[in-house]
Amino acid sequence: MKKKAYLGIDIGSISTKGVIISEENEFLAECYLWTEGNPMQATKNVLCRLKEQFDDAGYRIVASGTTGSARKLVGSMIGAQVVKNEITAHAVGTTTLHPDVRTILEIGGQDSKIICVENGVAVDYAMNTLCAAGTGAFLSSQAHRLGVAVEEFGEIALRAKKAAPIAARCTVFAESDLVHKLQVGCPKEEIIAGLCKAVAGNYLNNVAKGKKIAAPVVFQGGVSKNAGVVRMFEEELGMPVLVDERGHLMGAFGIAVLAGEQQEDAGFSFDVADMEFRTREIICGKCANHCEIICVYRESRLIDSWGNRCDNGAVS
Protein backbone atom coordinates (compact mmCIF):
# COMPACT_ATOMS: atom_id res chain seq x y z
CA MET A 1 0.00 0.00 0.00
CA LYS A 2 1.33 3.42 -0.99
CA LYS A 3 2.16 6.00 1.68
CA LYS A 4 0.41 9.37 1.73
CA ALA A 5 2.11 12.49 0.37
CA TYR A 6 1.10 16.16 0.17
CA LEU A 7 1.78 18.84 -2.46
CA GLY A 8 2.35 22.53 -1.73
CA ILE A 9 2.90 25.33 -4.28
CA ASP A 10 3.91 28.93 -3.47
CA ILE A 11 3.38 31.25 -6.46
CA GLY A 12 5.03 34.64 -6.09
CA SER A 13 5.61 37.50 -8.50
CA ILE A 14 9.28 36.60 -8.89
CA SER A 15 9.51 32.88 -8.16
CA THR A 16 7.33 29.78 -7.95
CA LYS A 17 8.16 27.09 -5.42
CA GLY A 18 6.82 23.57 -5.05
CA VAL A 19 7.35 20.73 -2.58
CA ILE A 20 5.99 17.26 -1.93
CA ILE A 21 6.22 16.01 1.65
CA SER A 22 5.46 12.80 3.49
CA GLU A 23 3.17 12.35 6.51
CA GLU A 24 6.30 12.81 8.64
CA ASN A 25 6.97 16.18 6.91
CA GLU A 26 9.99 14.82 5.07
CA PHE A 27 10.83 16.46 1.73
CA LEU A 28 10.19 13.98 -1.10
CA ALA A 29 10.60 16.50 -3.95
CA GLU A 30 11.30 20.21 -4.24
CA CYS A 31 11.58 22.85 -6.95
CA TYR A 32 12.30 26.59 -7.24
CA LEU A 33 11.81 28.36 -10.58
CA TRP A 34 11.27 31.92 -11.85
CA THR A 35 7.64 32.88 -12.43
CA GLU A 36 8.54 35.13 -15.40
CA GLY A 37 5.15 36.84 -15.40
CA ASN A 38 3.28 33.62 -16.20
CA PRO A 39 2.11 31.82 -13.04
CA MET A 40 0.19 29.14 -14.96
CA GLN A 41 3.17 28.10 -17.06
CA ALA A 42 5.51 28.39 -14.06
CA THR A 43 3.22 26.03 -12.14
CA LYS A 44 3.28 23.52 -15.00
CA ASN A 45 7.09 23.70 -15.08
CA VAL A 46 7.32 23.18 -11.32
CA LEU A 47 4.97 20.18 -11.49
CA CYS A 48 7.11 18.61 -14.22
CA ARG A 49 10.24 19.00 -12.09
CA LEU A 50 8.49 17.58 -9.02
CA LYS A 51 7.21 14.61 -11.01
CA GLU A 52 10.78 13.75 -12.06
CA GLN A 53 11.82 13.50 -8.38
CA PHE A 54 8.68 11.92 -6.98
CA ASP A 55 8.56 8.22 -6.06
CA ASP A 56 5.08 7.37 -7.33
CA ALA A 57 5.75 3.69 -6.67
CA GLY A 58 5.96 4.26 -2.93
CA TYR A 59 3.80 7.37 -2.41
CA ARG A 60 0.52 8.85 -3.57
CA ILE A 61 -0.41 12.55 -3.33
CA VAL A 62 -3.74 12.74 -1.48
CA ALA A 63 -4.10 16.51 -0.95
CA SER A 64 -2.62 19.78 -2.20
CA GLY A 65 -2.49 23.46 -1.26
CA THR A 66 -1.44 26.80 -2.74
CA THR A 67 -0.19 30.09 -1.34
CA GLY A 68 1.37 33.27 -2.73
CA SER A 69 0.08 36.11 -4.88
CA ALA A 70 -1.47 33.80 -7.52
CA ARG A 71 -2.77 31.21 -5.03
CA LYS A 72 -6.42 31.37 -6.15
CA LEU A 73 -5.56 30.96 -9.83
CA VAL A 74 -3.16 28.06 -9.31
CA GLY A 75 -5.43 26.58 -6.66
CA SER A 76 -8.15 26.34 -9.31
CA MET A 77 -5.69 24.81 -11.77
CA ILE A 78 -4.58 21.95 -9.54
CA GLY A 79 -7.83 21.52 -7.60
CA ALA A 80 -6.19 22.47 -4.29
CA GLN A 81 -8.00 21.62 -1.07
CA VAL A 82 -6.25 24.44 0.85
CA VAL A 83 -5.67 28.01 -0.35
CA LYS A 84 -4.09 30.32 2.25
CA ASN A 85 -2.15 33.60 2.34
CA GLU A 86 1.64 33.77 2.68
CA ILE A 87 1.60 34.83 6.34
CA THR A 88 -0.25 31.67 7.36
CA ALA A 89 1.85 29.39 5.14
CA HIS A 90 5.21 30.79 6.29
CA ALA A 91 4.20 30.71 9.94
CA VAL A 92 3.04 27.08 9.74
CA GLY A 93 6.08 25.97 7.77
CA THR A 94 8.60 27.67 10.05
CA THR A 95 7.01 26.59 13.34
CA THR A 96 6.83 23.01 12.06
CA LEU A 97 10.60 22.89 11.49
CA HIS A 98 11.55 25.31 14.28
CA PRO A 99 8.95 24.96 17.06
CA ASP A 100 10.67 27.48 19.34
CA VAL A 101 10.86 30.33 16.77
CA ARG A 102 9.64 33.72 18.03
CA THR A 103 10.33 36.00 15.05
CA ILE A 104 10.31 35.28 11.30
CA LEU A 105 12.06 37.77 9.00
CA GLU A 106 11.35 37.35 5.30
CA ILE A 107 12.69 39.34 2.34
CA GLY A 108 11.70 38.21 -1.13
CA GLY A 109 12.13 39.51 -4.64
CA GLN A 110 9.64 42.37 -4.44
CA ASP A 111 8.23 42.39 -0.93
CA SER A 112 9.13 41.67 2.67
CA LYS A 113 7.34 40.67 5.84
CA ILE A 114 7.80 40.04 9.55
CA ILE A 115 5.82 37.50 11.59
CA CYS A 116 5.83 37.47 15.40
CA VAL A 117 5.13 34.07 16.97
CA GLU A 118 4.05 33.08 20.47
CA ASN A 119 3.61 29.45 21.51
CA GLY A 120 3.79 28.33 17.90
CA VAL A 121 1.05 30.71 16.72
CA ALA A 122 1.43 33.89 14.62
CA VAL A 123 0.17 36.76 16.78
CA ASP A 124 1.35 39.79 14.78
CA TYR A 125 2.74 40.57 11.34
CA ALA A 126 3.53 43.36 8.90
CA MET A 127 4.16 43.42 5.16
CA ASN A 128 5.78 45.87 2.77
CA THR A 129 4.65 45.52 -0.84
CA LEU A 130 4.72 49.19 -1.87
CA CYS A 131 8.43 49.93 -2.19
CA ALA A 132 11.21 47.78 -3.68
CA ALA A 133 13.96 49.39 -1.57
CA GLY A 134 15.67 46.69 0.44
CA THR A 135 14.28 43.69 -1.47
CA GLY A 136 15.90 41.11 -3.71
CA ALA A 137 15.03 43.15 -6.80
CA PHE A 138 16.78 46.17 -5.28
CA LEU A 139 19.96 44.18 -4.60
CA SER A 140 19.90 42.67 -8.08
CA SER A 141 19.69 46.08 -9.75
CA GLN A 142 22.58 47.41 -7.63
CA ALA A 143 24.64 44.30 -8.39
CA HIS A 144 24.11 44.90 -12.11
CA ARG A 145 25.22 48.51 -11.70
CA LEU A 146 28.38 47.36 -9.92
CA GLY A 147 29.08 44.60 -12.43
CA VAL A 148 28.94 41.92 -9.74
CA ALA A 149 26.77 38.79 -9.62
CA VAL A 150 24.22 39.21 -6.83
CA GLU A 151 25.08 35.68 -5.66
CA GLU A 152 28.57 36.97 -4.79
CA PHE A 153 27.35 39.92 -2.72
CA GLY A 154 27.44 38.15 0.62
CA GLU A 155 30.96 36.78 0.26
CA ILE A 156 32.29 40.16 -0.91
CA ALA A 157 30.52 42.03 1.90
CA LEU A 158 32.12 39.82 4.54
CA ARG A 159 35.59 40.78 3.23
CA ALA A 160 35.00 44.51 3.74
CA LYS A 161 36.80 46.27 6.61
CA LYS A 162 33.80 48.56 7.06
CA ALA A 163 30.42 49.29 5.46
CA ALA A 164 30.06 52.47 3.44
CA PRO A 165 26.96 54.47 4.51
CA ILE A 166 24.24 54.05 1.86
CA ALA A 167 20.85 55.78 2.10
CA ALA A 168 18.54 52.90 1.12
CA ARG A 169 15.20 54.20 2.37
CA CYS A 170 14.42 54.92 -1.28
CA THR A 171 15.75 53.13 -4.36
CA VAL A 172 16.40 56.41 -6.20
CA PHE A 173 18.38 57.90 -3.30
CA ALA A 174 20.31 54.65 -2.84
CA GLU A 175 21.39 54.59 -6.47
CA SER A 176 22.44 58.24 -6.30
CA ASP A 177 24.42 57.54 -3.13
CA LEU A 178 26.04 54.47 -4.69
CA VAL A 179 27.17 56.42 -7.77
CA HIS A 180 28.64 59.13 -5.54
CA LYS A 181 30.58 56.54 -3.51
CA LEU A 182 32.03 55.08 -6.72
CA GLN A 183 33.01 58.53 -7.99
CA VAL A 184 34.97 59.35 -4.84
CA GLY A 185 36.86 56.03 -5.03
CA CYS A 186 35.18 54.08 -2.26
CA PRO A 187 36.23 50.38 -2.42
CA LYS A 188 33.61 48.21 -4.08
CA GLU A 189 33.50 45.69 -1.20
CA GLU A 190 32.73 48.53 1.25
CA ILE A 191 29.89 49.73 -0.98
CA ILE A 192 28.48 46.20 -1.17
CA ALA A 193 28.75 45.84 2.61
CA GLY A 194 26.99 49.20 2.87
CA LEU A 195 24.16 47.97 0.65
CA CYS A 196 23.76 44.86 2.83
CA LYS A 197 23.71 47.03 5.96
CA ALA A 198 21.19 49.37 4.34
CA VAL A 199 18.88 46.46 3.49
CA ALA A 200 18.87 45.29 7.12
CA GLY A 201 18.43 48.83 8.43
CA ASN A 202 15.65 49.66 5.97
CA TYR A 203 13.77 46.49 6.94
CA LEU A 204 14.07 47.13 10.69
CA ASN A 205 13.09 50.81 10.38
CA ASN A 206 10.11 50.18 8.12
CA VAL A 207 8.72 46.64 7.99
CA ALA A 208 9.64 45.74 11.57
CA LYS A 209 8.97 49.18 13.07
CA GLY A 210 7.02 48.85 16.31
CA LYS A 211 7.34 45.06 16.39
CA LYS A 212 8.98 43.16 19.23
CA ILE A 213 11.80 41.08 17.76
CA ALA A 214 12.42 38.21 20.15
CA ALA A 215 14.87 35.31 19.81
CA PRO A 216 15.03 32.76 18.27
CA VAL A 217 14.95 34.61 14.94
CA VAL A 218 14.63 32.80 11.60
CA PHE A 219 15.47 34.68 8.36
CA GLN A 220 13.81 33.51 5.11
CA GLY A 221 13.34 34.49 1.47
CA GLY A 222 15.86 34.79 -1.34
CA VAL A 223 17.79 37.57 0.40
CA SER A 224 18.47 35.25 3.37
CA LYS A 225 21.01 33.49 1.13
CA ASN A 226 23.10 36.69 1.26
CA ALA A 227 25.59 36.14 4.09
CA GLY A 228 26.33 39.88 4.19
CA VAL A 229 22.71 40.78 4.97
CA VAL A 230 22.55 38.01 7.60
CA ARG A 231 25.67 39.42 9.31
CA MET A 232 24.18 42.93 9.30
CA PHE A 233 20.93 41.70 10.83
CA GLU A 234 22.88 39.97 13.60
CA GLU A 235 24.86 43.16 14.29
CA GLU A 236 21.76 45.36 14.29
CA LEU A 237 19.71 42.99 16.48
CA GLY A 238 22.51 41.83 18.75
CA MET A 239 21.38 38.21 18.51
CA PRO A 240 21.94 35.15 16.28
CA VAL A 241 19.86 34.88 13.10
CA LEU A 242 19.13 31.38 11.82
CA VAL A 243 18.88 30.75 8.08
CA ASP A 244 17.20 27.47 7.19
CA GLU A 245 18.72 25.77 4.14
CA ARG A 246 15.19 25.38 2.77
CA GLY A 247 14.01 28.82 3.87
CA HIS A 248 13.19 29.77 0.25
CA LEU A 249 10.69 26.88 0.18
CA MET A 250 9.01 27.60 3.52
CA GLY A 251 5.76 28.93 2.06
CA ALA A 252 5.32 25.87 -0.14
CA PHE A 253 6.25 23.60 2.77
CA GLY A 254 3.80 25.32 5.11
CA ILE A 255 0.86 25.00 2.72
CA ALA A 256 1.76 21.32 2.14
CA VAL A 257 1.65 20.79 5.92
CA LEU A 258 -1.81 22.40 5.99
CA ALA A 259 -2.91 20.17 3.11
CA GLY A 260 -1.80 17.21 5.21
CA GLU A 261 -4.28 18.21 7.92
CA GLN A 262 -7.21 17.57 5.57
CA GLN A 263 -9.15 14.42 6.40
CA GLU A 264 -10.39 13.73 2.89
CA ASP A 265 -8.39 11.77 0.32
CA ALA A 266 -8.81 14.14 -2.65
CA GLY A 267 -5.99 12.75 -4.76
CA PHE A 268 -3.91 14.58 -7.35
CA SER A 269 -2.73 13.93 -10.89
CA PHE A 270 0.34 15.35 -12.61
CA ASP A 271 -1.74 15.33 -15.81
CA VAL A 272 -2.63 18.92 -14.86
CA ALA A 273 0.74 19.95 -16.31
CA ASP A 274 -0.38 18.79 -19.78
CA MET A 275 -3.78 20.53 -19.73
CA GLU A 276 -4.62 23.84 -21.37
CA PHE A 277 -5.68 26.66 -19.03
CA ARG A 278 -6.70 30.23 -19.74
CA THR A 279 -8.25 33.11 -17.84
CA ARG A 280 -10.78 35.73 -18.89
CA GLU A 281 -11.83 38.93 -17.15
CA ILE A 282 -15.49 39.92 -17.29
CA ILE A 283 -16.88 43.29 -16.15
CA CYS A 284 -20.33 42.66 -14.71
CA GLY A 285 -22.84 45.42 -15.53
CA LYS A 286 -25.82 44.01 -13.64
CA CYS A 287 -25.48 46.50 -10.75
CA ALA A 288 -23.56 49.63 -9.75
CA ASN A 289 -20.59 47.61 -8.42
CA HIS A 290 -19.28 46.78 -11.93
CA CYS A 291 -17.25 43.90 -10.47
CA GLU A 292 -14.19 42.56 -12.29
CA ILE A 293 -14.82 38.82 -12.38
CA ILE A 294 -11.93 36.45 -13.13
CA CYS A 295 -12.95 33.24 -14.91
CA VAL A 296 -10.60 30.24 -15.18
CA TYR A 297 -11.07 27.72 -18.00
CA ARG A 298 -9.57 24.25 -18.34
CA GLU A 299 -9.72 22.81 -21.86
CA SER A 300 -12.33 25.54 -22.70
CA ARG A 301 -14.53 24.53 -19.73
CA LEU A 302 -15.16 26.98 -16.89
CA ILE A 303 -13.77 25.55 -13.64
CA ASP A 304 -13.76 28.55 -11.30
CA SER A 305 -14.54 32.26 -10.99
CA TRP A 306 -14.23 34.96 -8.35
CA GLY A 307 -14.49 38.70 -7.89
CA ASN A 308 -18.27 39.20 -7.73
CA ARG A 309 -19.56 41.07 -4.68
CA CYS A 310 -23.18 40.02 -5.09
CA ASP A 311 -25.20 37.17 -6.62
CA ASN A 312 -25.84 39.20 -9.79
CA GLY A 313 -22.27 38.52 -10.84
CA ALA A 314 -22.29 34.79 -10.14
CA VAL A 315 -20.77 32.86 -13.05
CA SER A 316 -21.68 29.24 -13.63
Structure confidence at residue 102 (pLDDT): 97
Q: Reading across the β-sheet that carries 82-83, which strands appear in turn?
A: 27-34, 15-22, 3-11, 59-68, 82-83
pLDDT in tens, 269-314: 999 999 999 989 989 988 888 899 999 999 888 888 888 888 887 8
User: Looking at the DSSP assignment, which residues form a beta bridge with residue 9?
Assistant: 18, 66
Please provide the average confidence, as pLDDT, over all residues in the chain: 89
Helix ranges (DSSP H) in the chain:
39-53, 71-78, 86-97, 136-146, 153-159, 171-183, 188-205, 227-237, 250-260
For 75-97, what is the mean pLDDT?
A: 95
For 251, phi and psi rounded to 5 degrees? Answer: -65, -45
Measuring CA to CA, how many Å separate 175 from each of 170, 221, 224?
Answer: 9, 23, 22
CB-based contacts of 124, cutoff 8 Å, min separation 6: 115, 116, 211
Residue-level pLDDT at 131: 64
pLDDT class for 170, splitting at 50, 70, 90? low
Domains of the chain, start order: 3-94+252-274 (3.30.420.40), 100-243 (3.30.420.40), 277-313 (no CATH)
Q: Name the β-bridge partners of 116.
A: 103, 124
Q: How many CB atoms lie within 10 A of CB 131?
A: 16
Please say whether the dihedral angle defined by the alpha carbons of residues 148, 151, 152 and 155, taken in this order, is positive or negative.
Answer: positive
Between these two residues, 14 and 211, which has the higher pLDDT value? Answer: 211
Q: Which amino acid is at 220?
A: Q
Question: For the segment 192-250, what is each residue's pLDDT rounded down to a tens digit?
Answer: 898 888 888 888 988 898 999 999 999 998 888 889 999 999 999 999 999 988 988 99
Q: Please report the pLDDT score of residue 50 as a whole number.
A: 97
Mean pLDDT value of segment 102-114: 88
d(CA 11, CA 35): 8
Distances (CA, A) of 301 to 41, 144, 221, 275, 277: 18, 44, 36, 11, 9
- Ramachandran region, residue 176 (left: φ > 0; alpha: ψ -120 to 50; beta: rest): alpha
Residue 101 has pLDDT above 70, yes or no: yes
Share of the chain above pLDDT 70, in %: 96
Residue 109 has pLDDT above 80, yes or no: no
- Among candidate residues 142, 143, 133, 99, the one with its CA nearest the CA of residue 118: 99
The enclosing H or E element of 306 equals strand 301-306
- Answer for the pair 207, 175: CB distance below 8 angstroms, yes or no: no
pLDDT in tens, 110-138: 788 999 999 989 999 998 865 666 677 78
Question: Beta 59-68 vs 82-83: how paired, if at all?
Answer: parallel
